[in-house]
Amino acid sequence: MGHFEYRSGFQATEPTPILCGKDDGQGALGEHLQCASPSGAPDGLLSAVAAPIHFSPLLPLQVDQRVFRDLMSEKLPRLHAHFEQYKVDYTLITFNWFLVVFVDSVVSDILFKIWDSFLYEGPKVIFRFALALFKYKEEEILKLQDSMSIFKYLRYFTRTILDARKLIGISFGDLNPFPLRQIRNRRTYHLEKVRLELTELEAIREDFLRERDTSPDKGELVSDEEEDS
């Protein structure tokens, strides 16, 4: 079973989040360590299409978002159903929580508590605290009756949570049991699904490039910059 590490790299001027996925040989990333920074992403549609995607360095994070969906449906079924009813993709918000371990998402006092737990127990606590943040404000979210107001609320609600003791009580009390084996098993399941999807996308990408290279209208796909060069 592979395991995943979340790291945050910092420069002198501003934080640069880095995601690392480490595998012991049974996961999708192979027996090596991969790190990804948002600044390293290719720019432009054609660049994105042309760039290989089969071994995405953000694969562990994509998998964990699916695992988190499963946990939401199990631990917070009313809230999960509410999001489903209004077609709110809350992983657009939680993606960044997992990427930088809640940096810039919660007030500093709570952030320090989360990082203390994270450094002591590992990435499992990210799932705990992500669920706890939603449970903390569950009743307020359930009162919102349209997708726009829900999504707007999700963008800032975590910074309105100030009671660290209550949040920790939810994380390590109300959400139990929280077995690590369950997370590992669901990671394995979703890892295979994501790998299959990436394989299909890779085939589409290769077909696109092959069609572009053999098309009689190939010149129409060349940018102005390429023509000048």
Q: In this predicted model, what pLDDT tens digit does every residue of 136-160 receive, in sequence order?
A: 999 999 999 999 999 999 999 999 9
Confidence tier at 98 by pLDDT (50, 70, 90): very high
| CATH number for position 80 | 1.10.472.80
Residue 99: which domain range? 56-183
Residue 17 lies in a domain: no
How much is the pLDDT for 41?
A: 39
Residue 97 lies in a domain: yes
Residue 93 lies in a domain: yes
Confidence tier at 186 by pLDDT (50, 70, 90): very high
Checking if the pLDDT of 222 tops 60, the result is: no
Separation CA 69–CA 191 (nearest Å):
14
Residue 153 lies in a domain: yes
Residue 141 lies in a domain: yes
Residue 24 lies in a domain: no
pLDDT digits (tens, 9 = 90+) for 38-92: 334 333 333 333 444 444 668 899 999 999 999 999 999 999 999 999 999 999 9
Residue 89 lies in a domain: yes
Could you identify the residue written with the tokens 């042309």?
50
Does this model's pTM top 0.75? My answer is no
Shortest CA distance to 136 belongs to which of 156, 118, 158, 154? Answer: 158
Separation CA 80–CA 58 (nearest Å):
24
How much is the pLDDT for 37?
A: 38
pLDDT digits (tens, 9 = 90+) for 17-45: 334 444 433 333 333 233 433 334 333 33
Q: 38 CB contacts (<8 Å, ≥6 apart)?
A: 16, 17
Specify the number of domains making up the chain. 1
Residue 6 lies in a domain: no
Checking if the pLDDT of 217 tops 60, the result is: yes
- The size of the chain, in residues, is 229
